[in-house]
Amino acid sequence: ANFKERQNRKQGNMLRLLHFALATLMVCSATADITESRTGIKFPNKVNGSSLSRLGVRTKGPIKVYAVGEYEDGTYLLKMSMGVGAEKMASALSDALKPRCSDSDAVNSFEECLVGGLPDGAPKGTSLSFSTGGGKLGVAVNNKSIDTIKSNDLSSAFAAIYSDKNAVCAMNAIGDDGEQESAGGWGVKPEKIAFWGGVVGYSLGLGIGKVFCRGD
């Protein structure tokens, strides 16, 4: 009876270790940055509590200009893959807004705002954040708020740049495993699978070793 009790205890401990390892894996995956596969640019999994839902890349011919992440609350995070002048960047976004927005004054205000918020242009690595919720468009550069333009038409039009049928780039959904989906499938990197497999395997091996070496 004592032997059977010890075996049951060991099996219970092994199951608890397995649950702990899987829970740790899920937490780490949920909090880790997500890498846009074509540019290698990392995006936070959450911004202000809102999860990253889609990723895309704005290109001009073969040139990758910036990667863009869309968050569930309507925030769009643009990260520059190459350097672009302030006027050129502002003009490009304004040109995308004009056919989508009937509020021309708001578009002009947006363009002026962005030029003023980029005194040194938009060098590679610059982060531009645009929040589209609440009938207004919030603009931030490198996590510093620049301005908020109150215009429902403008905020809706900005979201449409990346979501309507004429979107400036394809946006790929983020899967439940935190990986960027693509037309060819899930795109889970083998090295990531190997890394987390090693983490789980090490945790289980260490725990099982302790269970069986206790000598009870």
107-154: pLDDT as tens digits? 999 999 999 999 999 999 999 999 999 999 999 999 999 999 999 999
Q: Tell me what pLDDT residue 27 has.
A: 44
Could you tell me what percentage of the chain is helix, strand and coil, using 3-state DSSP and rounding each to the nearest 5? 45, 25, 30
As beta bridge partners, residue 122 has: 84
Low-confidence residues of the chain, pLDDT below 50? 21-30, 183-191
Q: Tell me what pLDDT residue 24 has.
A: 46
Q: Are 44 and 53 contacting, i.e. CB atoms less than 8 angstroms apart?
A: no
Q: Tell me what pLDDT residue 186 has.
A: 40
What is the per-residue DSSP string for 87-115? HHHHHHHHHHHTTT-S-HHHHHHHHHHHH
d(CA 185, CA 73): 26
Residue 3 CB burial class (10 angstroms; 0-12, 13-18, ≥19): exposed
Q: Tell me what pLDDT residue 194 has.
A: 54
Q: Tell me what pLDDT residue 32 has.
A: 77
Q: Tell me what pLDDT residue 112 has.
A: 97
d(CA 60, CA 63): 5
Q: What is the CA radius of gyration of the chain?
A: 24
The answer to pTM > 0.85 is no
Residue 93's Cβ-side half-sphere holds a number of Cα atoms within 13 Å equal to 32
CB atoms within 10 A of CB 194: 10
Q: Are 93 and 73 contacting, i.e. CB atoms less than 8 angstroms apart?
A: no
Q: Tell me what pLDDT residue 169 has.
A: 97
How many separate helices (H) and strands (E) can be counted in the chain? Answer: 5, 10
